[in-house]
Amino acid sequence: MNLSGVLFFPVTPFDAEGGLAEEVLAEHIRQGLEHGPGGVFAACGTGEFSALSEAEHERVIRVAADVVRGRVPLFAGAGGPLGAALSQARAARAAGADGLLLMPPYLAQGPGHGFRAYVEAVAAELPVIVYQRGSVVLEPEAVVELAGVPGVIGLKDGLGDIDRMQRTVLAVRETYPDFLFFNGLPTAELTMPAYRGIGVELYSSAVFAFAPEIAKAYLNGDERLLTEFYAPLVRLRGKVPGYAVALVKAGVRLRGLDAGPVRPPLVDVTEEHLAELEALIKSGLELTAS
What's the pLDDT tens digit per position in 114-138? 999 999 999 999 999 999 998 899 9
Long-range contacts of 106-110 (CB under 8 A, 24+ apart): 106/79, 106/80, 106/81, 106/134, 106/135, 107/135, 108/81, 109/135
Mean pLDDT (the chain) is: 95
Give the pLDDT band (50/70/90) at residue 110.
confident
Task: Establish whether 203 is a catalytic residue.
Answer: no
Question: Average of pLDDT values for 23-30?
Answer: 98
Angle (nearest 5°) at CA 48 between 184 and 59: 115
Q: Where are the alpha helices (DSSP H) in 3-44?
A: 22-33
Q: Is 17 helix (H, G, I), strand (E, B) or coil?
A: coil
> Is 165 in contact with 200 (CB distance < 8 Å)?
yes
Exposed, middle or buried by CB within 10 Å (0-12, 13-18, 19+), for 282?
Answer: exposed
% residues pLDDT > 70 (the chain): 99
DSSP H or E run through 60: helix 54-68
Work out the pLDDT band at 107, boundaries 50, 70, 90: low
Reduced to 3 states (helix: H, G, I; strand: E, B; else coil), residue 278 is helix
**How far, in Å, CA of 156 to CA of 183, rounded?**
6
pLDDT in the model for residue 190: 92
| Confidence check: pLDDT of 266 > 80 | yes
Q: Are 102 and 132 in contact (CB under 8 A)?
A: no
The pTM score is 0.95
Whose CA is closest to 125, among 159, 86, 158? Answer: 86
Neighbour tally for 192: CB within 10 Å = 21
Catalytic entry in 118, 156, 218, 230: 156
Whether 218 sits among the annotated catalytic residues: the reply is no
Give the pLDDT of residue 125.
98
Amino acid, res. 53: S
Question: Does 177 have pLDDT greater than 90?
Answer: yes
The alpha carbon of residue 94 and the mean position of all alpha carbons in its chain are separated, in whole angstroms, by: 21
Q: Does 12 score more than 90 pLDDT? A: yes
* Per-position b or e across 106-135, b if 16+ CB within 10 A of its CB: eeeeeeeeebbebbeebbebbbbbbbbbee
Q: Contact 79/47 with Cβ under 8 angstroms?
A: no
Do residues 263 and 289 make contact, with C-beta atoms less than 8 angstroms apart? no
- Element of type H or E holding 130: strand 128-132
pLDDT at res. 108: 66
Catalytic residue among 131, 195, 230, 243: 131
pLDDT score of 60 more than 80: yes
